[in-house]
Structure 1
């Protein structure tokens, strides 16, 4: 790919992304250089590199996960994180309501040093 690829690529196929990621991994180019050369954001290219690393890690496992299992695990992890965030939000709202009911002023910040003393 090394700048011999057409700089006016309109659609980045998996094959083109792979070629670029391999060049980055081999040190033939950098994310910054590729970003400038192909008018892509660095975060977009870094995402491709991360995807490639995950794929390589899985393919080198003794018992590789199939793609569905990978996505199901990722979805489960995200759902757990979402659930935890929602519980924290509800707890903060409940604490704020209790503080307002008891006449305590100020923002709700959960922690032992900021809890109202009774």
Structure 2
């Protein structure tokens, strides 16, 4: 994927359960690519990670704006593009992404 992120399938929770917001952000950024990859090359550990992300997105009590921003981010829009599309600053977009990653990280940490 060339993302600079790697997923250690042997111990997935090392990556996503220990308050690692950068890893969560990487997983969200490449969420749809991971889903496509899994469709063509099914992998049990990847399925578990995708389910964890799906469940945490539902349970993390995101605001409406956070949901909109993170969905665009997951679809591959840049922070600048999201800001322009939603008529908010790039800093506001970054804040929404960071807060979302923190909520997901907290949810995964406290519920695993």
Query: Could you say which TM-score interval applies, normalised by the shorter chain?
Result: 0.3 to 0.5
TM-score (norm 2): 0.39
* Larger radius of gyration between Structure 1 and Structure 2: 1
Structure holding more helix per residue:
2
**Under a length normalisation based on structure 1, what TM-score does the superposition of the two structures give?**
0.37
Which structure has the higher relative contact order (CA within 8 Å, separation 6+)?
A: 2
